[in-house]
Amino acid sequence: MEVVIVPGSKQIGKLAADAIEALLRRKPQAVLGLATGSSPLPIYDELAARHERDGLDFSQAHAFALDEYVGLERGHPESYREVIRREFTSRVNITPENVHNPDGSAADIPAACSSYEEAMHALGGVDLQILGVGTDGHIGFNEPGSSLASRTRIKSLIEQTRRDNARFFNSMAEVPHHVVTQGLGTIMEARHVMLVATGAQKAQAVRDFVEGPVSAICPASVLQFHPHATVLLDEAAASSLKLADFYRHTYDNKPGWQGL
Ligand code: F6R
């Protein structure tokens, strides 16, 4: 796991966009894994700017979203299908049919989850997965207690996550209780995972998953087993890390050719 600590989210956006740009230049038909929430927004802003300014080309790329609420009607502005479209995919030239979302309104949710996994496999799997982390250590919507080998499936949200996400709705009561999410086993198959965390409210979760034991109580800790995991943090999110100075030293002395 590589931990990179930078002053703020602008630098995180640039670093992550550099990695995604390098991937798209080397593999124009790359498969991107997209997260929603606040953490990835600086990355999406930077990618949209590079598309606009430099013509960064997404025309052959594919994208798979991590998760979706269950129970929101199609087109609901806070459904993750809409959020991804609004915040990112409508701002670049990715083909809309190449953007895949778990179907939280399917009549047969288990069948829809299996088809989602099959679609990912058919395209050769995810090349680069963007992740945020919940204050309880979730990735995707794999809440504490999730199987470390889980696949795409329906899950219940913990109350803390519903509270954290209530800011996107008119009231807590509107936040769905159920979601469909890629599993931890699914996420672990991405060839490169890049997790972004900013702000002091994430410091404990970051400390737990980077330096704590691998355990289902902290789902993001499974990334310690990933062969290519990058953790991009601002100073506040990194503030509880024991080895912060070592991570800084390592990154500062990293050969430029290595990239992320
Ligand atoms: C959303 C997702 C979640 C969020 C996490 C952090 O697609 O996968 O795991 O990344 O809840 O959310 P923010 O970034 O809003 O703090």
Token representation of residue 34: 């997209």
Mutate to test the pocket of ligand 1, among 129, 141, 194 (most ligand atoms within 8 A of CB): 141
From ligand 1's centre to the CA of 257, what distance in Å? Answer: 31
Token representation of residue 74: 């199609």
Q: Is residue 162 part of a domain?
A: yes
State the residue for tokens 């600086």.
42
Length of the chain: 260
Closest C-alpha residue for ligand 1 atom 3:
140
Token representation of residue 100: 């895949």
Closest C-alpha residue for ligand 1 atom 2:
140
Task: Say yes or no to pLDDT of 11 above 90.
Answer: yes
From ligand 1's centre to the CA of 63, what distance in Å? Answer: 17
Task: Say yes or no to pLDDT of 89 above 90.
Answer: yes
Q: Is 115 in the pocket of ligand 1 (CB under 6 A)?
A: no
Q: Is residue 256 part of a domain?
A: no
Q: Is 67 in the pocket of ligand 1 (CB under 6 A)?
A: yes
From ligand 1's centre to the CA of 255, what distance in Å? Answer: 31
Question: Which CATH number belongs to the domain containing residue 10 in this structure?
Answer: 3.40.50.1360
pLDDT digits (tens, 9 = 90+) for 171-203: 999 999 999 999 999 999 999 999 999 999 999
Mutate to test the pocket of ligand 1, among 41, 89, 138, 142 (most ligand atoms within 8 A of CB): 138
Q: Is residue 215 part of a domain?
A: yes
Q: Is residue 258 part of a domain?
A: no
Domains in the chain: how many in total?
1
Percent of the chain with pLDDT over 90: 98
Range of the domain at 238: 2-251
Residue-level pLDDT at 193: 98
Spatial distance between the Cα atoms of 30 and 156, rounded to a whole number of angstroms: 31
Q: Is 37 in the pocket of ligand 1 (CB under 6 A)?
A: yes
From ligand 1's centre to the CA of 259, what distance in Å? Answer: 25
Pick the closest to residue 82 from 36, 30, 147 (CA basis): 36
Spatial distance between the Cα atoms of 48 and 61, rounded to a whole number of angstroms: 14
Show Cβ contacts of residue 127 under 8 Å, excluding neighbours closer than 6 positions: 23, 27, 30, 31, 32, 190, 191, 192
Q: Is 36 in the pocket of ligand 1 (CB under 6 A)?
A: yes
**13 pLDDT tier (thresholds 50, 70, 90):** very high
Beta bridge partners of 6: 234
From ligand 1's centre to the CA of 227, what distance in Å? Answer: 22
Spatial distance between the Cα atoms of 233 and 11, rounded to a whole number of angstroms: 10
Q: Is residue 204 part of a domain?
A: yes
- Report the SS3 class of residue 94: coil
Spatial distance between the Cα atoms of 201 and 182, rounded to a whole number of angstroms: 24
Q: Is residue 257 part of a domain?
A: no
pLDDT digits (tens, 9 = 90+) for 138-156: 999 999 999 999 999 999 9
Residue-level pLDDT at 256: 86
Task: Say yes or no to pLDDT of 132 above 90.
Answer: yes
* Alpha helix stretches (DSSP H) within 57-138: 80-87, 109-122
Residue-level pLDDT at 74: 87
Rounded (10°) CA dihedral 226, 231, 237, 243: 80
Average pLDDT over the chain, rounded to an integer: 97
Residue-level pLDDT at 12: 98
- The mean pLDDT value for 55-70 works out to 98
Mutate to test the pocket of ligand 1, among 12, 34, 39 (most ligand atoms within 8 A of CB): 39
Task: Say yes or no to pLDDT of 137 above 90.
Answer: yes
pLDDT digits (tens, 9 = 90+) for 204-247: 999 999 999 999 999 999 999 999 999 999 999 999 999 999 99
Task: Say yes or no to pLDDT of 259 above 90.
Answer: no
Q: Is residue 53 part of a domain?
A: yes
Strands in 67-69's sheet, in edge-to-edge order, are 67-69, 178-181, 153-156
Give me the amino acid identity at 139. Answer: I
Q: Is residue 89 part of a domain?
A: yes
Beta bridge partners of 22: none
**Which residues are part of the catalytic machinery?**
67, 136, 138, 143
**Which atom belonging to ligand 1 lies closest to the Cα atom of 141?**
9
Spatial distance between the Cα atoms of 78 and 74, rounded to a whole number of angstroms: 10
